[in-house]
Amino acid sequence: MFKKKCVWALLPILLLTTGIVGAAEWLTFGHDPQRTGWAFGEREISPETASNLKLLWKTKLENQSYILAAATAPVVAENVSTRGGNQTVVYVAGVTGSLFALAADTGEELWRYTVKNFVESRNNKAFVFQGGFLCPNGITATPVIDKTTNTVYIIGPDGMLYGLDLGSGFLRYGPVQFVAPFSKNWSLNLVGGKVFTTLSQGCGNGISGIYSIDVRDRHHPVITQGLLSNTTTAGVWGRGGAIIGNNGRVFGGAADGRFDIEAGDYSNTVVAESLDNLNVVDYFLPSNWSYLNRKDFDLGSSSPVYFGWRNRNLVAHGAKESVVYVLDADSLGGKDHQTPLYVSPRLGNDRQVCCEGIGIWGGLSTARDADGRTWLYVPLAGPPSTGAPKFPVMNGDSKDGSIMAFTVEADSRTGNPMLSAAWITGGFNHPDPPIIANGVIFALSNGENAVQKGGAQKRLENTGPAILRGLDSKTGKELFNSADAITSWVHFGGIALANGKVYVTDHDSNVYCFGFPATPSNGNSRSLKGE
């Protein structure tokens, strides 16, 4: 099923082989198992139409935020059989333990499933982070949809995997104990009948690593663990969770801690595990890994992205240090595990601080344009570095944060990939990972307070409403701005896009739908629910 080399033009076909079907849907975080953020099936939104987007509806979920945690990023499935007929449905999980299914046309709640916990939540006495903002004792992983079985999967606060019918919320699979109760798990992924997640930060006493469960036989679940540490370190806490390439490997960026491969500690690496048994098969260790460890610049703050370029399989990754690495996905770091194909100059974080949200957070995104060029989009918090490349096109003041766009070019000397600066767009107060659709980039200026000093409650102060912005993917020119439509900030949420609509969640557990207003000829009605 998996081929050693890939042709990027065949991406839609390759995605079908992984179990993610329906290019116009948004079935998993970042659209696809590779977490590209590229909605390559979108046709309604374009640079010519993006300015016509409006807020169609806003629905407030019955979910109480807990410190920084609230609602997950949305996922979207079309042609779902519901009590109201076949329709497109949006799914969002709340930290308190519920999964909500909303009608994409109106925002109406179609059904809700609430997990019944049979274990007692741990508190701070057991583990210093438990019950705090790092370990909120609730749902933290974005769900994933399997259209082949009409099932949406979530991990409950109890660490059990639940598979629910897309149209009714009826329990179709489990619950099966997948990971430790009250662990910190990240966006679910689905390939070949297996659901994947990652664990980090020792929450619930769960050991850091990549986890999978075979869900093809509900009476014979097979759970596999690919552990990356002997303690609470080396967690893969990038928002994308497990990044799955079409070369049979699962990738993640590991956090700070001990590096000792003989003992099984893979901190500060980009690691690759085999898809079938989650054995570590490769890793990349930056040459300055001890500096990264000392400065708390771990690679876990962001997710890698897997993509094809000139018949080569690549992985790009960047984190708090604000340096982007481009790696050979089939041989991370080469023979010595420390030689990337390309390493960028520092893009930001000249102050070299770890805990003010400066640098690259969340994840990188990629797409290929109609001219065959491969693009890499980097969300950077804080001002650009004085040593950053000069961008030919600059759009606005980038002192608070920006989206940087690069094209992937061939080095004239080696033929290896390198990044060529194309444009930069400012005005982002802490940007979230962008997504790409038919020549338009959407990204959130999330408005959160990312300064990690003074305790978790301080993070709730000095926040501002998030803003959704649409940019021309080739120039960075602003095409759409949601202005004051979103009323709260966003932390570790995300965007979904399907069939001409963009969906956003915020810290007040609101779900927003931006799309094109109905015309009199189709008679559809839109509403602002919860207002």
3-state secondary structure 358-399: CEECEECEEEECCCCCEEEEEEEECCECCCCCCCCEEECCCC
Note whether residue 273 is domain-resident. yes
From the number of C-beta atoms within 10 Å of its C-beta (0-12, 13-18, 19+), residue 355 rates as exposed
Whether the per-residue pLDDT at 154 is higher than 70: the answer is yes
Note whether residue 523 is domain-resident. no
CA separation for the pair 78, 86 (Å, rounded) = 8
Question: In the predicted model, what is the mean pLDDT of residues 211-235?
Answer: 94
Note whether residue 527 is domain-resident. no
Note whether residue 530 is domain-resident. no
CA separation for the pair 421, 387 (Å, rounded) = 13
pLDDT of residue 12: 42
Q: What tokens were used for 494?
A: 């995300």
User: Which run of H or of E encompasses 274?
Assistant: strand 270-274
| Residues 6+ positions from 23 with CB-CB distance below 8 Å | 12, 15, 39, 40, 41
Note whether residue 314 is domain-resident. yes
Read off the CATH number of the domain in which 400 is found: 2.140.10.10
State percent of the chain over pLDDT 90: 84
Q: Which among 194, 198, 191, 192 is positioned nearest to 214, based on CA atoms?
A: 194
CA separation for the pair 382, 398 (Å, rounded) = 8
Residue 17 has a CB neighbour count (10 Å cut-off) of 14
How do residues 22-61 score in pLDDT, each as one tens digit?
568 999 999 999 999 999 999 999 999 999 999 999 999 9
Number of domain units in the chain: 1
Q: What is the DSSP string of 162-190?
A: EEEETTT--EEEEEEE-S-TT-EE---EE
Note whether residue 520 is domain-resident. no
Question: In the predicted model, what is the mean pLDDT of residues 149-154?
Answer: 98
The dihedral sign for the CA sequence 344, 349, 354, 356: negative
Residue 242 gets the label, from left (phi > 0), alpha (psi -120 to 50) or beta, of beta
Note whether residue 2 is domain-resident. no
Question: In the predicted model, what is the mean pLDDT of residues 218-222?
Answer: 95
Is residue 505 a contact partner of residue 513, using CB atoms and an 8 Å limit?
Answer: no
Note whether residue 529 is domain-resident. no
pLDDT of residue 13: 37
How do residues 239-284 score in pLDDT, each as one tens digit?
999 999 999 999 999 999 999 999 999 999 999 999 999 999 999 9
Q: How remote is the C-alpha of 357 from its chain's centroid?
A: 17
Whether the per-residue pLDDT at 178 is higher than 60: the answer is yes
Residue 332 has a CB neighbour count (10 Å cut-off) of 27
pLDDT of residue 1: 36
The rounded mean pLDDT for the chain is 92
Q: Which among 493, 481, 404 is positioned nearest to 446, based on CA atoms?
A: 493
Whether the per-residue pLDDT at 336 is higher than 90: the answer is yes
Helix (H, G, I), strand (E, B) or coil at 498: strand
CA separation for the pair 474, 127 (Å, rounded) = 48
CA separation for the pair 425, 516 (Å, rounded) = 25
Domain that includes residue 411, residue range: 8-515
pLDDT of residue 229: 92
In Å, how far are 4, 123, 128, 137 from 504, measured between CA atoms?
36, 31, 32, 23
Whether the per-residue pLDDT at 524 is higher than 60: the answer is no
